[in-house]
Amino acid sequence: MYEDRAPESVWLPRRRWRRLKPVWEARHTGRADTEALGSLLHEGLVVRAAFDRLRAFEAGTGRERWAWEVPGRDVLAAMTDEVVDGVGLLAHWPDVHGGQRQAHVTALDMTSGETRWSVPRSLDELWHPGSGLRPGTVALSGGLAMVATGTAVVALDLRTGRQVWVTQHSRDHDVWIGAAGERLVVVTRHEGTATVRAVSVADGRVLWKKSPAVDGPVAAVRLVCADPLLVAVEGEGRRGADCLLRLDAEGNTVTEFASADDGARFVPHAPWRLDHGQPWTIRAGDTLVAFVDSPTYQHLSRLAGFSLSTGRHLWTRENTWDIDALAFHRGHVVTLRHHKDETEDRVEWGCEVRVLDPVDGREVARRRLRVTQDEPYAMHLHGDRLLWVSRRSAPFAPPVKAYDWR
């Protein structure tokens, strides 16, 4: 993708709209129409997670390195976005009523696909609507694997799965955790009040506990990011305050983001409106890039930049249709839009990838990809290679494919 603020000569106009062909397409195997629930990129491997298995493909060739089947009749319920010491953390439970009481937490070697350990842990009290992955359930930091339950946060040794410490919190169905170095952030909601705790990863001590000041009772709360610490709050009722709060290292509110200059609200206030569980906010230096509401039905079509230090609205970029995937790479924001073009006698599928400067939203470069009707779930950037993770995997829909940016 080239370095920050690449010269215009890199993005030659005559090459700008040439459709790029996939350099490889991974092979579909197993159950058809298995929808993606998560993905990550780790040391040249792109991992695609579905409800029943994880598959890892080499970014260079598309060859499947390993596949891990979710044990027994369980389904995948949670997965860390990060990998620590080559290990990712998963939660899974039986796909039956009350199955969360029989959940297991599993440490998976992301290089080989081998299970390091798996321990039982009841997650029955966590609120988990739908069939996707529940964000904010598991986290990794400092050689520990941490799991949120409805009453506590439990830390397990990353090598053995042995319990190291337990930190209790108020009983709640709405619990979110996220690791930020030596600190674990725990966000809960109880009786209309949001509470944010900072917990020492080393020993589970509560370093501080704060209830952010918002106007009125809280209907829902969500940990958007642990570093910088961003918490989305949805107020109760029509007079409720909806805002995105940035907290400092002591839990004090530094900045409150409520809307863009035209009054458009942040989309993270309504995570149920998103098509899947991918993150829709990006930090680029002092700029927070996020979606804001659109007056049309395309609710992921307006991308905006805000100053993290002041909360000031910097720019808004209008798009004709929804953006399907968002990434940050080498100092730039990368957006991907997959769409259908219909005429009287035929249907064509198109895809545009645009590279934006996060400071002012200016378009630096663009490319078109040769695509079919397969919808994207996420994209990852690995050097000059764009890795497309498909929403569904089927005989004529590869689970992952790659394009070279040139």
| Percentage, residues of the chain above pLDDT 90 | 54
Supply 35's token pair.
Answer: 């929808």
DSSP state letter for 21:
P
Mean pLDDT of the 292-300 span = 67
pLDDT attached to residue 200:
97
Lowest-confidence segment of 68-77, 147-156, 229-238, 377-386 by average pLDDT: 229-238
Helix H or strand E encompassing 109: strand 104-109
pLDDT of residue 311 exceeding 60: yes
Which residues on adjacent β-strands are paired with residue 328? Answer: 333
pLDDT attached to residue 262:
66
DSSP state letter for 397:
B
**Mean pLDDT comparison of 205-209, 336-340, 389-393, highest-scoring range:** 205-209
Lowest-confidence segment of 22-26, 87-91, 344-348, 375-379 by average pLDDT: 344-348
Q: Which of 101, 107, 176, 109 is nearest to 144 (CA)?
A: 107
Supply 47's token pair.
Answer: 């991992």
pLDDT attached to residue 278:
62
Helix H or strand E encompassing 174: none
- Residue 276 phi, psi dihedral angles, 5° rounding: -155, 180
Tokens 């409720």 belong to residue? 240
Q: How many CB atoms are closer than 10 A to CB 177?
A: 22
pLDDT of residue 369 exceeding 80: yes
Supply 339's token pair.
Answer: 């769409």
Q: Which of 310, 306, 313, 255 is nearest to 284 (CA)?
A: 306
Per-chain mean pLDDT for the chain: 86
Q: For the segment 1-12, what is each residue's pLDDT rounded down to a tens digit?
A: 444 455 444 444
**Mean pLDDT comparison of 2-11, 156-165, 278-287, 301-310, highest-scoring range:** 156-165
Per-domain residue ranges of the chain = 1-49+276-290+321-406
**371-405 exposure pattern, b = at least 16 Cβ within 10 A, e = fewer:** beebbbbbbbbbeebbbbbbbbbeeebbbbbbbeb
- Residue 119 phi, psi dihedral angles, 5° rounding: -130, 145
Q: For the segment 224-279, what is each residue's pLDDT rounded down to a tens digit?
A: 899 999 998 888 877 777 788 999 999 999 988 876 666 666 665 454 344 455 66
| Percentage, residues of the chain above pLDDT 70 | 87
C-alpha 275 chain-centroid distance: 12
Supply 322's token pair.
Answer: 């929804």
pLDDT-based confidence at 342, cuts 50/70/90? confident
* Residue predicted with more confidence, 16 or 383: 383
Q: For the segment 105-128, what is each residue's pLDDT rounded down to a tens digit?
A: 999 999 999 999 999 999 887 777
pLDDT attached to residue 299:
62
